[in-house]
Structures are given as structure tokens and as C-alpha cells.
Amino acid sequence: MNSMTIKSLRDAYLSEQLTPQQLIADILDKAKKFTDHNIWIHLLTAKEINPYIEALAEKPIADYPLWGIPFAIKDNIDLAGIPTTAGCEAFAYTPEKSAFAVQQLINAGAIPIGKTNLDQFATGLNGTRSPFGACKNSFNQEYISGGSSSGSSVAVALGLATFSLGSDTAGSGRVPACFNNLVGLKPSRGLLSASGMVPACKSLDCMSIFALTTEDANTILTSAEGFDISDEYSRENTPSNKSRYFGQQTPPFTLGIIESSQLKFFGDKEYEKAYHKVIEQLQAIADVTLIPIDYSPFDQVAKLLYEGPWVAERYLAAQELINTNPNAIFPVVRDIIAPGGEPKAHELFSAQYKLEGLAKTCRAQLNKCNALLMPTAGRIFTIEEMLNEPIKHNSELGYYTNFVNLLDLSAIAVPTSFTEKNLPFGITLIGDTFADRSLLSIANYLETIFVTPEGASTTSKTIIHLPKVNSTKTVDVVVCGAHLEGLPLNWQLVERGGKLINTTTTSKNYRMYALAGGPPFRPGLIRDTENGAKIAVEVWRLPMTEFGSFVAGIPAPLGISKLELDDGRWLTGFICEGYGIEGAEEITELGGWRAYLKTLSQ
């Protein structure tokens, strides 16, 4: 297969050009060529994989979205009957059942290929902290793959799996995606169950998805997500964040970017150049607005992860081994985890207070845009560089990532380009909790702008034009009367967080009437394509969460429908039922409500 995307494999299966048996045999044979990359801790044998293939006979391909799709699993996530090591053989155990999310994927028809290498106990962002060997970059073996989900990313990039599961506490689902030219989805915490996953920081962890395209990432998320009562941190998804809201979100949208003085590339001129080229390309696109944000509060949050008491959670995961057999733990990992037993309870509360204060500042900036956009990493290091200064460089890798889970945000890493050394570069979109489909939809648009191959292959990524979707974070509302800025009912928008976007007119297809009753006095708009005129209106942007209560307060005969603006857009706005204009005064010739109010004061 030239392409390993879900669609390509399904098309090959349906046209009988390929069978799962043939694909798996090819993958296992191909895996032999990459043994020096240290991808696998346990690559399943053909005998171990065969039961999953046989189970497909009872599953019609049309009903199972991942039918015959191969995937890899980070070895801190359980697969029934296969040891889970978390990168430490002394810790290993063999689970009787698969992790909830893994079983969801298998139920959808996916075929597990193996358990992948990782930074031990998921502690690291680089992929070198493993007794199973440093996992090497899929483009250049002298460079790191990114961690801790190192093997999961390299397996997909080298065509040994269509997708993989990783985990993400500090950026482990995003940094490896950047370094291997993949989409890396870090879902909202709790959207994917973490039961059956060895925790790094249980209150912060989430499973992550590595995929070749945003469309694949959405399909995988849809199959894997689901509330799990056995996971204390599992959460129900919100209606506006479900799969049907994934598509292509085209401009207009606003992205927050870091002020130039706060950017850090740690001496990597090629990554710096690649980032600025991305910004230049986005600035050239009509209706993509880039606004600067102050990164300092996000950086202060990021530092809490390793400099604060949350390191105690890492200690909990490996506590027994640290106390009984500390030499079994990789030295640099042990040096990070062992002090986690020292923080006192009051230190955690103090850090939480600080986090809450910083979170308010961060979210205030996030609320100004559809998403934040920043480099996924400021620099890619060689393995030698990383081994020489493992703590310093690992910290540098987390400069743009460590804050995300502490703030309970969602994120997606998107490949954009390559450096002169042919090393991948990418950006990350960051959004609010349960903004996953919105981020995926913006990322899907960016895929059409920044076209890259599938992973480390030479296969060009196929651009699939998905249905266009709008932001589910806000709704633009057209008002024409008492809700106009400064008028008696405008508070109903302002107090709900509404912002005035622009002043414009409707198309020439409306008539306006001053309705009976009041105060407050109100107009009614009636659509009339033969005898209408342009009417002055305002467009207000309202948080979607406040839209329902706003609409509920609208009295008859007024209602909400779609209004045609002079520029051709159809937006949500006020209309009037036909019976409402009985006995009303027509004021169309005045061109708007403010003009009518002036006549009353004369």
C-alpha cells in the first residue's frame, strides 16, 4: 500500500485489492527493516494477531469504521494477554483485559500490532529515556523522535500502523507528532477513558492519538471515546463536541499567537524560520486574523508541572518500585520521580491557588480567539545532544506544551513544513475544554494550506474536501431594534458576554415595521424579495452557551431565523411573524430603527 490512511485501506479492502492478512504480513515483514529504531517493546506475532483478524469475519466492513485498520499501543496502556511494562521490565504485569479505549477500537474493527517503546513511566518528552533503547526519529536516526510516546509516533510515521495511542501529560501526544510529521490529537481530559493506562499524573493524564490526517484522527476519536464509570476522571462529552461537528472550518476565524519577544527556539534557526514562514502564510489569507497574546502566564503554569508538587503524582505511579528496587528505574527518570515523595500537602494547595489565578488570566486571552497557535516545539535535538543534557533540553521541549493539561485545555499538533535538513516542523492549535472537534476542523483547513506527505513516506497526503462547519464556541446574531448598542435591551447581549462585531445592512429584501406596544418599543423585520429595502443592523457575537437563554427570552411575535446580509451571508437574527405587523407602522423608508427613533424625538 502506498497510502496507509483509513480511507485508502478501506477502499482497498472493498475493492478486494487487499485483505487484512496480506496487510499484517506486509507490516510484520517491513518491521524487520526498522529494528534499529527501537520502536517496539512487544511486536505481536502473526499468531497473536490472528484472533483479531478472524473476528472480522463476523463484522460487516460497512458497519465497522476501523475494520482491518492496524494500530499501535504505547506500552503504558493495556492490551489483554500482553505484558504492560511502562518501559520498565521490573514493573511489568500481564492484564486480563484491554484498556477501555483499546477495547473500543478493537470493537470498531481495529487490529493491534504491538506495544511501543516510551520514555520510562511516561516521564520525558524526548524518547531517549528507555532501557529498550532510544527511539530514533523516522526521518533521521541521529535525532530524537520525541517522547514519551516515542514508539507510537515512529510506528505510524514509518507505515507500521495507520494510527497509534499514546499518552499526554506534558506534551507527549504532540512533540512526537511534530518530530515525525503526524497529526497529534491531545483530547480534552476524560474524553478518552484512562482506565487500563499506567498513570504518570493521574489527575492530568489523557490518552492521545497519532494519525496521518485530521480526518483519521476524528474517526479514531469517535470510535475510542465514551464515558467509563470505572475511570474516576472520565467525563461525558458535550453535544457540540461530537463527531457530527467535525468538518472543515474555513475563515473567518481568529488565532492567538505568542508575542515575538516571548518566542523561544533555543538556537534552532531552522525551526525559527519555519515558524515565521507559517505565520507569513496565514497572514496572507483573507479573514484569518492573528492577534498577539501574552505568553507569560501560560509559561508560569507550565513551570508548575515539574517545579511544583504535581511531581508527587509521578511518584505514586512508581512508589513501590522506588522503595523496593530503585535501581530498576532508568537513572534520569528515577532522579525526576524520587523527589516526588517529599512535597507536603500544604504545598499542593498553595500551587493550586496559584494555578487558579493564572488560569483566569490565560482563559481571558483564549476567549479572544478561536484557538491559540504556537510552535509545537522550539527545537529538535540530536540524540547525542539530549543525552549530554537530558534535564535542560527536555525542559526546553516542553516550553510550548506543559501548561495545556494543567489548564484543562484541548490541543492538536499539525504538521506544516520541513527544514533545510528535511526534518519536520509543525504548529499546535490549543482550545478550551471540549473544543476538540473545533480544533480538528480548523486543523483540517490548515491541512489544505500546509500540505505534507503521510508521515515519513513519499506518499502525498490526499486532500479530502469535507463539509464546511462553523465555530461551536460562538454564534453571530443580527439585531435590528432594541438590542442595538446603547438601546434598552442591549444589556441582554452585553451581560451574556456578547461583543459587537460590525455594523452593516441586510440585503435589499426586507421591510421594517414599528410594532405596537412597549416600552421598550420594538421593530419587526419581514422578508420581501419584491418590495424590500436594505435595513441597518448590527452583528453581535454571543457565546454559544448563552444563546439558548437569550432566545428563550424573546417574546412573540418576534423569533430567531436566518437573515440575509448585504454581503450575501446568512446569519442568525431577529424576524417577525406575519400576524405581528397587523396595526404596525411601516418604517422601511427610514432605513433602520435608529432613524425611526430620531423621528420620535423631533
**Do 528 and 420 fall within a single domain?**
no
Residues belonging to the chain: 602
What confidence tens digit (pLDDT) does each residue in 546-587 have?
Answer: 999 999 999 999 999 999 999 999 999 999 999 999 989 999
Q: What is the mean pLDDT of residues 411-421?
A: 98
- Given the residues 3, 74, 186, 223, the one annotated as active site: 74
What confidence tens digit (pLDDT) does each residue in 522-531 have?
Answer: 999 999 999 9
3-class secondary-structure state, position 417: strand
Task: Let me know if residue 464 belongs to a domain.
Answer: no
The partner residues of 542 in beta bridges, in order of sequence, read 475
The predicted pLDDT at position 352 comes to 92
DSSP string across 151-207: HHHHHHHTTS-SEEEEEESSSTTTHHHHHTT-EEEEPPTTSS--TTB--SSTTT-EE
Per the structure, the count of domains in the chain is 2
Instruction: Say if CB 67 and CB 109 are below 8 A apart.
Output: yes
The domain boundary residue, chosen from 416, 449, 482:
449
User: What whole-number distance in Å separates Cα of residue 143 and Cα of residue 130?
Assistant: 15
Instruction: Say if CB 42 and CB 73 are below 8 A apart.
Output: no
User: Which own/partner pairs from 497-501 qualify as long-range (CB within 8 Å, at least 24 positions apart)?
Assistant: 497/542, 497/543, 497/546, 498/540, 498/541, 498/542, 498/543, 498/546, 499/540, 499/541, 500/538, 500/539, 500/540, 501/476, 501/538, 501/539, 501/540, 501/541
Task: Let me know if residue 189 belongs to a domain.
Answer: yes
**Do 541 and 411 fall within a single domain?**
no
**Do 181 and 233 fall within a single domain?**
yes
CATH of the domain at 41: 3.90.1300.10
**Do 367 and 482 fall within a single domain?**
no
- Given the residues 138, 148, 153, 441, the one annotated as active site: 148
The predicted pLDDT at position 206 comes to 96
What confidence tens digit (pLDDT) does each residue in 20-55 have?
Answer: 999 999 999 999 999 999 999 999 999 999 999 999
Helix, strand and coil content of the chain, in percent to the nearest 5, comes to 35, 20, 40
Residue 10 has pLDDT above 90, yes or no: yes
Residue 410 annotated to the active site: no
**In terms of residue numbers, what domain contains 93?**
6-449
Q: What is the mean pLDDT of residues 205-224?
A: 98
Instruction: Say if CB 87 and CB 75 are below 8 A apart.
Output: yes
User: What whole-number distance in Å separates Cα of residue 12 and Cα of residue 23?
Assistant: 10
**Do 150 and 97 fall within a single domain?**
yes
The predicted pLDDT at position 155 comes to 98
Q: Which residue has the higher pLDDT, 338 or 194?
A: 194
Instruction: Say if CB 374 and CB 257 are below 8 A apart.
Output: yes
User: What whole-number distance in Å separates Cα of residue 376 and Cα of residue 402?
Assistant: 11
Give, in order, the Cα–Cα distances in Å from 5 to each of 31, 150, 347: 18, 20, 47
What percent of the chain is predicted at pLDDT more than 90? 87
The predicted pLDDT at position 591 comes to 97
Instruction: Say if CB 381 and CB 391 are below 8 A apart.
Output: no
The predicted pLDDT at position 369 comes to 93
**Do 182 and 317 fall within a single domain?**
yes
Confidence of residue 462 (pLDDT cuts 50, 70, 90): confident
Instruction: Say if CB 99 and CB 195 are below 8 A apart.
Output: yes
**Do 437 and 484 fall within a single domain?**
no
**Do 299 and 422 fall within a single domain?**
yes
Instruction: Say if CB 472 and CB 440 are below 8 A apart.
Output: no
Q: Which residue has the higher pLDDT, 239 or 110?
A: 110
**Do 385 and 263 fall within a single domain?**
yes
Residue 335 has pLDDT above 90, yes or no: no
Q: What is the mean pLDDT of residues 171-187?
A: 98
Q: Going by DSSP bridges, is the β-strand pair 253-258/288-293 parallel, antiparallel, or unpaired?
A: parallel
The predicted pLDDT at position 431 comes to 97
**Do 512 and 586 fall within a single domain?**
yes
Task: Let me know if residue 457 belongs to a domain.
Answer: no
Q: What is the mean pLDDT of residues 305-319?
A: 81
Q: Which residue has the higher pLDDT, 545 or 330?
A: 545
What percent of the chain is predicted at pLDDT more than 70? 100
Lowest-confidence pick of 268-282, 295-309, 341-355: 341-355
**Do 343 and 483 fall within a single domain?**
no
Residue 172 annotated to the active site: yes
The domain boundary residue, chosen from 449, 466, 487:
449
Q: Which residue has the higher pLDDT, 79 or 319?
A: 79
Residue 419 has pLDDT above 80, yes or no: yes
Task: Let me know if residue 105 belongs to a domain.
Answer: yes
Task: Let me know if residue 456 belongs to a domain.
Answer: no
The predicted pLDDT at position 336 comes to 80
Q: What is the mean pLDDT of residues 258-287?
A: 97
Residue 602 has pLDDT above 80, yes or no: no
DSSP string across 247-291: SB-PSSEEEEEE-GGG---TT-HHHHHHHHHHHHHHHTSTTEEEE
Grid coordinates representing 541 are 457575537
Residue 343 has pLDDT above 80, yes or no: no
CATH of the domain at 532: 3.10.490.10
The domain boundary residue, chosen from 406, 432, 449:
449
- Given the residues 172, 188, 223, 507, the one annotated as active site: 172
Task: Let me know if residue 496 belongs to a domain.
Answer: yes
The predicted pLDDT at position 536 comes to 98
Task: Let me know if residue 460 belongs to a domain.
Answer: no
Task: Let me know if residue 506 belongs to a domain.
Answer: yes
Mean pLDDT for the chain? Answer: 95
DSSP string across 479-518: E-STTSTTSTTTHHHHTTT-EEEEEEEB-S-EEEEE-SS-
Residue 98 annotated to the active site: no
Confidence of residue 341 (pLDDT cuts 50, 70, 90): confident
The predicted pLDDT at position 167 comes to 98
> Which residues does 79 contact at the CB level (< 8 Å), separation at least 6?
73, 95, 98, 99, 102, 112, 115
Residue 405 has pLDDT above 90, yes or no: yes
**Do 421 and 543 fall within a single domain?**
no
Residue 1 has pLDDT above 80, yes or no: no
Instruction: Say if CB 159 and CB 457 are below 8 A apart.
Output: yes
Q: What is the mean pLDDT of residues 243-250?
A: 94
